[in-house]
Chains A and B, each alone.
Chain A
Amino acid sequence: MKPAPFAYERPRDLNAALSMLAASNGSAKIIAGGQSLGPMLNLRLVQPELIVDISGLAELKRAEVSGGELVLGALVTHADIEDGRTADVTRGAMRGVAASIAYRAVRNRGTIGGSLSHADPAADWISALAALGGRVTLRSLVGARSMAVEAFVVGALESALQAGEIVEAIHVPARSASAHWGYAKSCRKTGEFAHAIGAVLVDPTAASARVVIGAIDTAPIVITDASELFGGRIAADYKQRLDVRVADALLAKAGIDDAAQRHIHVSVLKRAVQEAAA
């Protein structure tokens, strides 16, 4: 389990990194915390010609509140969020998610941008940030573009990133005072990848809800207007109104044929709703 030979560069600033990526014609991989790429290199599942180590880029480590939203540089670690070293506009929601990611050793090195870029369906941020209404900014030498997290994650280990592009920042809207948050997952053991994730942001006052069913074999199911899941309307009694048949049908539509798997996903979603309503 040793990687195939590769070249290694550690650029000093973002522009230098983008130039290297552009010059590599898609044969480069970006490494930040290395918590997913490291094992994949060792198993020779990826064999890039060049590794661009962005861990020295100060401009990607910033975290600031700007215009009512939180902007996190791609290199912010899970532990930064867990420990409250970054500002928070989600009233603890992100902190709770961060604290439940894998093990502390992974959280110390793993980054939010890396986790999104890797787009592992079982990882936490792609589901949690989709529920929170997060967006990502992607940058290349050509310029920047921005998209919703649910548009960014295309499939299992597949994102909208194009060759030469990098996740620069994550934008998280402030959670309104009336919005309830629930996040639940099922892991076979502590720190293991989840086998089911439920993330819900319900605002009964605004009669709106975003619901995510994650850790399926492909991109998470993101329901931006979730009223159908709650019998057609979202109100203070949403906890009682969750229609598990709708969730089950969504899972079946997403290709999950196994009834026990669907049952676990639906049950986890139910827990997330209960947590939001608690």
Chain B
Amino acid sequence: MKEGAELRNEREFPSGKSGQGVGARLPRKEDDRLMRGRGRYVGDVRLAGLQDVAFVRSPLAHARIRGIHVPERYRGSVFTAADLVGIKPIRAVSGLPGFKISEQPVLATGKVRQVGELVAMCLAPTRAEAEDIAASVTLDLEELPAITDMLKAREPGSALVHEHWGDNVFLETNYEVDISAALDAPIKMTREISTARQCMSPLEGRGVVATFDSRLDQLTLHSAAQMPHITRSGLAECLGMEEGQIRVISPDVGGGFGHKGILLPEEVCLSWLTMRCGHPVRWLEDRREHLVASSNCREHHYRITVYADSDGSLRGIDCEATVDSGAYSSYPFSACLEAAQVASILPGPYRMPAYRCRTFSVATNKCPILPYRGVARTGVCFALELMLDLVAAEAGLEPGEVRLRNLVRPEQMPFDNITKKHFDSGDYPEAMRRALAAIDIDAIRAKQKQGEADGRRIGVGVSIYCEQAAHGTSVYSGWGIPMVPGHEQASARLTPDGGLELRVGVHSHGQGMETTLAQVAHEILGVDVAKIRIILGDTAMTPYSTGTWGSRSMVMAGGAVATACRELGERARRIGAKLLQHDPAAVVLQNGEVRGVNGSVSVKAIAHTWYRRPQDLPADVDPGGLEVTQGYKPVRDSGTFSYAAHAAVVAVDPDLGEVEILDYVIVEDGGVLVNPLVVDGQIYGGLAQGIGTALYEEMPFDASGQPLATTLADYLLPGPTEVPAARLDHMETPSPYTQFGVKGIGEGGAIAPPAAIANAVNDALRPLGVELMQSPITPHRVVAAVLAARATKRSAA
């Protein structure tokens, strides 16, 4: 029987509905610690002899380094590239044909290619003193022309970020399915659409505490990391050490979102430094470093044409997408994952017969672009869903109607789309219908006709996406990047008192996995969730894993935990049969007990006997014991496809440019939900970030490459008053390929809001002749567009 096939939906998990297993809305176990301020983060690590590091960072976006001058009194406390003998640069190569390799020196050599690039490392007993030293170091830089506009960077004759390339293009890709078949479509809409560069802004920034243990001959790196095993591999490559000589510990992590999946030059620097100076060293990213030098994401540009029949049926999409990849290829995802992914996911959840997409990953003098929650999907959803609203307007249809006409239909599942994505299951039109009904589209249209007394204009917008999650070996081997996920491993061990320890290589930084993975184990073994400990975030204590990214942990680590617990349960069952003096075939494991006709013995008693009273076991007992490690892959590793329809109602003030979200509805389908409460939290958090993309967050640069939003006074994040009380509705279509039918949902919340909100704003302002095709939708952009539309009307009149 296929895995998961025996358990098809939530109604079949009675333990979850009534108690603690799959499907239970269990409050998060970890919140007892985290919500009382008892979490332990990198910044809380205290080691004897610890000293602090501050970095000298490049003040220029592009310059040749002529000299680094350290005052005499600080010699010995300042380290530059010249000191880092034998340390290799960070190299994140992609195997895609034509990819150009960048080498990111951990401390700059020769040139600096972005503001904030590390130039020197300063060591002192406190961070303030280290910053004093950093301020005393002077750089002799020969400024070079900065490349800040990705479209200009593509033009011949542009200044070059990496001279030996001859241009600024990391990678160009082309994908086409018979675009000529669409060219005679009666509706043809072409636009330029863009999303701003953002900063991920988790509550906790990055941080590193490094120390070396000469007894173990081992470097220990405490780092706020989503993927500790991958960090270890990258460190070993840069430092020239054996992986066994490195232990990466990622303690509590205050939000990752992709930023903490990246190997940082700071991690390499501090690893080298602790071995050089013989005592622990620490660097904690401050908010300015975070904004200026590290966590950039999202900057996309699209030239897109959508072809459709006059009834709104899609005939094809033709797109040229450019992503500003920044100065370097980041480890392990590379500089091209984002842009190249655009080509494969742009068709979204829609059917179409023709398609063409050309993508460019462009190097500029900005921070490397990093994969942020949703990765390329937020930009793609924004571009495609804005275009579908234009098609709707052109065809004279409701935007929702155009979606319903083109979405993949439930009877077509599983469905291979035009870019060969394999949609596993779901009813996409139903999600859209529910969203339209919940937002009450008819009532809003009626309200719009009346107009608002306060002069604001009401608009409604929808968007829908699908999110490929937990995609595995077959997908990632094609990218040829330093990391390809294989079988996910989990270890399960019963303790002598009947508790359960689970070890997994993924990490939890807000996802609630200490609860949800325990629920999975409870579903199989019946052990009380309170007695299940999840051990994660430590390469010395957990099985290898590529870690937490790509909405994969519940599918992959959840599947591995289930598999390991099944094997552990089988071991317990066989021991239990011996204790009951039964044939093993005649006993079952149920609700934490092994039962036969003669009676039952608890898993707790079995564990106690195995560890503490082996004298009670017969001589022919299976010697394997109550500790197992098992690997897991879904039946198909092309990924689960969760999806959601979002609907937003906004009020726009055309004179002030302010946008207020009046109502927000999300209908999502994440397959079987292990813990709907945790899923709700994931969606609310993603929505907040999506609202940030839609309305607030932007990292602008001036022409010389200086980032202009260097504090949170200029880089605006949505706060509690900017995030509405969204209404959620869950559908639960199981995936046919995974344990319990679960799907990955971690990123989805952040994908659709910019599109839904922009469509709502455009719906509100369309009668004024206004069209906004750029995120974020700031008051200034709204008012400028309103004034431009008025001027156009005047000149036409």
Check if A263 sits within 8 Å of B132, measured CB to CB: no
**Smallest CB-CB separation from A271: which chain B residue?**
B656
- Is the CB of B87 closer than 8 A to any CB of chain A? no
B90 to chain A, nearest CB (A): 25
Check if A189 sits within 8 Å of B721, measured CB to CB: yes
Check if B779 sits within 8 Å of A195, measured CB to CB: yes
Q: How far is the CA of A131 from the CA of B783 in the complex (A)?
A: 27
Q: How far is the CA of A191 from the CA of B135 in the complex (A)?
A: 33
Give the contact stretch, choosing among A2-10, A49-57, A140-148: A2-10
- From B286, B719, B783, B787, A189 is in contact (CB under 8 Å) with B719
- Is the CB of B657 closer than 8 A to any CB of chain A? yes
Interface range on chain A (Cβ under 8 Å from partner): 20 to 34
Give the contact stretch, choosing among B222-230, B524-532, B710-718: B710-718
- Is the CB of A268 closer than 8 A to any CB of chain B? yes
A-B CB contact pairs (8 Å), 12 listed: A2-B126, A5-B128, A188-B696, A188-B778, A189-B696, A189-B721, A191-B719, A193-B713, A195-B779, A260-B784, A261-B780, A270-B655
Check if B711 sits within 8 Å of A39, measured CB to CB: yes
- From A1, A193, A261, A263, B655 is in contact (CB under 8 Å) with A263
Q: How far is the CA of A159 from the CA of B658 in the complex (A)?
A: 32
- Is the CB of A115 closer than 8 A to any CB of chain B? no
Check if A264 sits within 8 Å of B287, measured CB to CB: no
Known contacts A186-B658, A192-B716; A264/B722 CB under 8 A: no
- Chain B residues within 8 Å of chain A by Cβ, number: 27
Check if A260 sits within 8 Å of B288, measured CB to CB: no
Most buried by B among A3, A188, A196: A188
Known contacts A1-B288, A43-B288, A43-B711; A190/B722 CB under 8 A: yes
Check if A263 sits within 8 Å of B787, measured CB to CB: yes
Q: How far is the CA of A192 from the CA of B783 in the complex (A)?
A: 19
Known contacts A1-B288, A2-B128; A268/B719 CB under 8 A: no
The A163-222 residues at the B interface (CB cut-off 8 A) are 186, 188-193, 195-196
Most buried by A among B288, B716, B780: B780
Known contacts A195-B779, A264-B783; A1/B286 CB under 8 A: yes
Enumerate chain A residues within 8 angstroms of B131, measured Cβ to Cβ. Answer: 1-2, 4, 44
The B635-669 residues at the A interface (CB cut-off 8 A) are 655-658
Known contacts A43-B288, A189-B696, A260-B780; A267/B128 CB under 8 A: no
Residue interface mask B417-445, A partner, CB < 8 A = 1: 00000000000000000000000000000
- Is the CB of B127 closer than 8 A to any CB of chain A? yes
Known contacts A1-B288, A3-B128, A195-B779; A186/B656 CB under 8 A: yes
Q: How far is the CA of A228 from the CA of B657 in the complex (A)?
A: 27
B199 to chain A, nearest CB (A): 16
Check if B716 sits within 8 Å of A44, measured CB to CB: no
A271 to chain B, nearest CB (A): 8
Q: How far is the CA of A260 from the CA of B790 in the complex (A)?
A: 12
- Is the CB of A259 closer than 8 A to any CB of chain B? yes
Check if A260 sits within 8 Å of B783, measured CB to CB: yes
A257 to chain B, nearest CB (A): 13
Enumerate chain B residues within 8 angstroms of A270, measured Cβ to Cβ. Answer: 655
Residue interface mask A20-44, B partner, CB < 8 A = 1: 0000000000000000000100011
Enumerate chain B residues within 8 angstroms of A188, measured Cβ to Cβ. Answer: 696, 716, 778-779
A103 to chain B, nearest CB (A): 9
Residue interface mask B69-82, A partner, CB < 8 A = 1: 00000000000000
A residues near B, CB below 8 A?
A: 1-5, 39, 43-44, 186, 188-193, 195-196, 258-261, 263-264, 267-268, 270
Q: How far is the CA of A2 from the CA of B126 in the complex (A)?
A: 10
Known contacts A259-B787, A263-B787, A268-B656; A2/B779 CB under 8 A: no
Enumerate chain B residues within 8 angstroms of A191, measured Cβ to Cβ. Answer: 719, 721
Q: How far is the CA of A39 from the CA of B127 in the complex (A)?
A: 16
Q: How far is the CA of A2 from the CA of B131 in the complex (A)?
A: 7
A232 to chain B, nearest CB (A): 25
Known contacts A260-B783, A264-B780; A2/B716 CB under 8 A: no
**Smallest CB-CB separation from A2: which chain B residue?**
B128
Known contacts A188-B696, A189-B696, A192-B716; A264/B779 CB under 8 A: yes
The B66-124 residues at the A interface (CB cut-off 8 A) are none
A261 to chain B, nearest CB (A): 7
**Smallest CB-CB separation from B130: which chain A residue?**
A2
A273 to chain B, nearest CB (A): 13
The B696-736 residues at the A interface (CB cut-off 8 A) are 696, 711, 713, 716, 718-719, 721-722
Q: How far is the CA of A188 from the CA of B288 in the complex (A)?
A: 21
User: A-B pairs with the 10 shortest C-beta distances?
Assistant: A2-B128, A267-B655, A260-B784, A190-B721, A260-B783, A1-B286, A186-B656, A2-B131, A189-B722, A263-B783
Enumerate chain B residues within 8 angstroms of A267, measured Cβ to Cβ. Answer: 655-656
Q: How far is the CA of A259 from the CA of B135 in the complex (A)?
A: 41
The B182-202 residues at the A interface (CB cut-off 8 A) are none
Q: How far is the CA of A259 from the CA of B288 in the complex (A)?
A: 32
Enumerate chain B residues within 8 angstroms of A1, measured Cβ to Cβ. Answer: 131, 286-288
Enumerate chain B residues within 8 angstroms of A3, measured Cβ to Cβ. Answer: 128
Q: A1-B286, A195-B779 are in contact. List 16 more A-B contacts (CB 8 A).
A: A1-B131, A2-B128, A4-B131, A4-B132, A39-B713, A43-B288, A188-B696, A189-B718, A189-B721, A189-B722, A190-B721, A192-B713, A193-B713, A263-B783, A264-B657, A268-B656
A84 to chain B, nearest CB (A): 24
Most buried by B among A186, A191, A193, A270: A186
Enumerate chain B residues within 8 angstroms of A259, measured Cβ to Cβ. Answer: 784, 787
B707 to chain A, nearest CB (A): 14
Check if B132 sits within 8 Å of A5, measured CB to CB: yes
Enumerate chain A residues within 8 angstroms of B126, measured Cβ to Cβ. Answer: 2
Residue interface mask B765-797, A partner, CB < 8 A = 1: 000000000000011100110010000000000
Check if B787 sits within 8 Å of A190, measured CB to CB: no
Q: How far is the CA of A43 from the CA of B713 in the complex (A)?
A: 13
- From B135, B713, B718, A4 is in contact (CB under 8 Å) with B135
**Smallest CB-CB separation from A195: which chain B residue?**
B779
Q: How far is the CA of A3 from the CA of B135 in the complex (A)?
A: 11
Q: How far is the CA of A55 from the CA of B288 in the complex (A)?
A: 29
- From A2, A4, A196, A260, B127 is in contact (CB under 8 Å) with A2
Q: How far is the CA of A186 from the CA of B7 in the complex (A)?
A: 55
Q: How far is the CA of A2 from the CA of B128 in the complex (A)?
A: 5
**Smallest CB-CB separation from B714: which chain A residue?**
A193
Q: How far is the CA of A186 from the CA of B657 in the complex (A)?
A: 9
Enumerate chain A residues within 8 angstroms of B722, measured Cβ to Cβ. Answer: 189-190
Q: How far is the CA of A267 from the CA of B778 in the complex (A)?
A: 16
Enumerate chain B residues within 8 angstroms of A5, measured Cβ to Cβ. Answer: 128, 132
Enumerate chain A residues within 8 angstroms of B655, measured Cβ to Cβ. Answer: 263-264, 267, 270
Q: How far is the CA of A182 from the CA of B658 in the complex (A)?
A: 20
Q: How far is the CA of A186 from the CA of B784 in the complex (A)?
A: 16
Enumerate chain B residues within 8 angstroms of A263, measured Cβ to Cβ. Answer: 655, 783, 787
B74 to chain A, nearest CB (A): 15
B688 to chain A, nearest CB (A): 12
Q: How far is the CA of A200 from the CA of B656 in the complex (A)?
A: 18
B784 to chain A, nearest CB (A): 4
The B364-402 residues at the A interface (CB cut-off 8 A) are none
Enumerate chain B residues within 8 angstroms of A189, measured Cβ to Cβ. Answer: 696, 716, 718-719, 721-722
